[in-house]
Amino acid sequence: MALELVTLLATGLFAGAAIYVTLVEHPARVECGPELAITEFRPSYRRGAFMQAGLASIGCVAALAAWTQGRGTSVLVAGLLLGAAIPFTLLVILPTNKRLLDPRLDPRTAEAAALLARWGHLHAGRTAAGVMAFLLLGLHMLGMI
């Protein structure tokens, strides 16, 4: 049960932070215009990436460990869903991140605005995966699945 609680906590924190970024922080930064948005994105991304990668790793490992102790397939699925945020970020989102972090990117260009919009859509996908993992774990722990 302790490993499931660790998984639930890490997944809840991951999903909550991702929801905040998707619904509040990123739209607010974009609303300020691309130049300010990119200026704010760079330090925000560095801090957020460290936190979210750690939460995804902890949640995934705890879920896998709980599953090996017979805690159920839903725990495994939720852990893998949360853990999938890491390769998704590295393979799908990282090229956009690198371009947004590149000091040679002129934040006044249409490219900068397009990159910010793309990042927002990609991050929303990562958010959805985190929310689904959290709901799956919550339902499991309530004995509903």
Encoded tokens for 35: 């130049």
**pLDDT band for position 109 (50/70/90)?**
very high
Angle between helices 94-101 and 110-141 (to 10 degrees): 140
**Helix (H) and strand (E) counts for the chain?**
7, 0
| pTM score above 0.85 | yes
- Residue 109 to residues 21, 112, 123, 124, Cα–Cα distance (Å): 23, 5, 22, 23
Segment 10-22 shows an average pLDDT of: 98
pLDDT confidence band for 78 (50 / 70 / 90): very high
**Res 89: pLDDT:** 96
Please tell me the distance from the alpha carbon of residue 122 to that of residue 116, in angstroms, as a whole number: 10
pLDDT value for 145: 87
Q: How many Å from the N-terminal Cα to the C-terminal Cα in the chain?
A: 16
What pLDDT digit, counting tens, does each position of 81-100 carry?
A: 999 999 999 999 999 999 99
> For residue range 123-135, what is the model confidence (pLDDT) as tens digits?
999 999 999 999 9
